[in-house]
Amino acid sequence: MKINLLDCTLREAPVKDLMFGKDIIQKFISKLEHANTDIIECGFLRDAGACENNTIFLNTDEIEPFLINKQSDKIYTVLIDYGRYNVEKLFQYNGKSVDGIRICFKKHEKDDVLEFAKHVKDKGYKVFIQQVDTSGYSDNEIIEFIDCVNALKPYAYSIVDTFGSMYPKDVEHLLKLVDTYLDKNIIMGFHAHNNLMLAAANSQLFIENLFDKRTIITDAAVLGCGRGAGNTNTELLMQFINTFYSGNYNLDAIFDIADDLMPKIHAHWGYSLPYFVSGTHSTHVFNINYLLEKHNISSKNLKNFIETLDESQKKYYNYDLLEKLYHNYCKGN
């Protein structure tokens, strides 16, 4: 059994419109290689296409120049947000660019995403299924979906704590459920967010419960880089695995990334009371950001307003509707 650490920093940064620049992207990947990172996520594939200083790409050939020293013992991936990329555009796998494609999707898309994933698999890529807001499904819904995943036989399937709302007991329940029903030949992964300051603890719990049962993947980002409160920190997980599971990660290379490549973008994410509200109410962080930027709302009023929303309004973002609901809330208070 093996623990794989997937670093998704280069993919997370564009979520907040953070720009790296071509030279930094190349150095970033090189340092992750030197750190012995098992899986390196290089960015997004989107129909909107590339931005010169960003890690959003139109196709896999645009990633190839950044992989000049591609290493055979590592896996390089890119993420597709289902509905934002036409799979017919995807080039056939040639071994020179990314090896795997991670596909995330919302609950209402679950009946269509596996057909999309099959097309990706048929093009020769390792397919990773990322079940967004896994805790938003009932146990039976998860079991039914995993039956379909087993039939597809992707490379990996991941539990995703999209809103950073999971406590350790929630993680333990889901990992036991998924481990029971997911084909043992499919790698099992976990992606955490830090709204409740539990991303690292939950990721460690995931490892502790499964390391001797099956091959697993834990997602992380340098300095916790990510939307809103951020993700599990790569450096924390590397140290944890090195200390307790005979890992061989080179923390010096991660320190070089943090010190030399990330100062300009650091401090654009991290724990705060508004993101705590996001986690406790499983609401999309874009709703939180909108209210903060548009109305400079206090933490207490933010909490009280979010509590008035139904589950659908919390999980998806519709700024026009949000604005209307907020004004109605203000009139009534």
Provide the sign of the torsion angle of the four alpha carbons 76, 126, 228, 328, taken in this order: positive
Query: Which residues lie below 8 Å from residue 322, measured CB to CB, with a gap of 6+?
Result: 287, 290, 291, 313
pLDDT for 54 equals 81
pLDDT over 90 at 318, yes or no: no
199-240: per-residue pLDDT in tens?
A: 999 999 999 999 999 999 999 999 999 888 999 999 999 999
Asked if the model's pLDDT at residue 154 lies above 80, the reply is: yes
Q: What is the pLDDT of residue 17?
A: 55
Mean pLDDT (whole number) for 166-184? 98
Angle 59-16-159 from CA coordinates, rounded to 5°: 75
CB contact set of 139 (below 8 Å; sequence gap of 6+):
177
Superfamily per CATH, domain 3-261? Aldolase class I (3.20.20.70)
Q: Delimit the domains of the chain by residue range.
A: 3-261, 273-331
Confidence grade of residue 326 (pLDDT, cut at 50, 70, 90):
confident
What tokens appear for 168 in the block? Answer: 């350790």
pLDDT band at 19 (very low <50, low <70, confident <90, very high): low
- Segment 260-281, tens digit of pLDDT: 888 777 667 888 888 888 988 9
